Amino acid sequence: MDPRVHIRATEILARGKATTKKVTFDYRAHDGNTVVSTREIYDRGDAAAVLPYDGARGTVLLTRQFRLAAWLNGQQDPLIEACAGLLEGIDAESRIMREAEEELGYRLRNLRQVFEVFSSPGILTEKITCFLASYSSADKVSQGGGLHQEGEHIEVLEPLLEEAMTLIETGVIVDAKTVALLQKAHLQFGRVAL
């Protein structure tokens, strides 16, 4: 346990696909003073995301889908994102390989973890394990599109990496994990194969 933090009380506010908690805690700040705070925390578990890259053609696989939370905050168009999914008790590598087949329709190769990020650490416990992988047209196993019984209606996109970078600059790609993965891919390979 971290000696700087002491949990005083935890109250469950809501349970569903995730749990919302109100946590009251003591925190010893950098100046040595102890601060008592209360925060609402949303816990839906951890996730994994992948950006597949075809080094021969310089393309990446992305998804486009409607996201209600983003829409409620003014995002009128469906979001363009890296393939991702909640772990739900499965290790990150196994989960993202399964998600890639369901959402993208590809069996990925050379899966490599590149970083972990907290998506919104002020309120969410979610940590996303991010991967790069390679693929080619020979790795296509289905049309993708996600699981309709889970309410997924996903369009698969295959832009050039350079085109995807332009979509960040023009404000079309606004999803944080996707921006980070595209920047990592651009820095790492440009047009070099995985």
Domain segments of the chain as ranges = 5-43, 47-188
Q: Note the pTM of the prediction, 2 decimals.
A: 0.91
Count of C-beta atoms within a 10 Å radius of residue 28 = 14
Which pLDDT does position 142 carry in this prediction?
93
Q: Map residue 176 onto helix, strand or coil.
A: helix
Which pLDDT does position 179 carry in this prediction?
98
Which positions ≥6 away from 86 have C-beta within 8 Å?
Answer: 44, 45, 46, 47, 95
Model confidence pLDDT, tens digit, residues 68-85: 999 999 999 999 999 999
Beta bridge partners of 11: 22
Q: At the fourth CATH level, which superfamily is domain 47-188?
A: Nucleoside Triphosphate Pyrophosphohydrolase (3.90.79.10)
Which pLDDT does position 55 carry in this prediction?
92
Which pLDDT does position 193 carry in this prediction?
46
pLDDT along the chain (194 residues), means of 10: 90 95 95 95 97 96 96 95 96 98 97 96 97 97 85 92 96 97 91 46
Please, what is the Cα angle at 94 between 80 and 147, to 5 degrees? 50
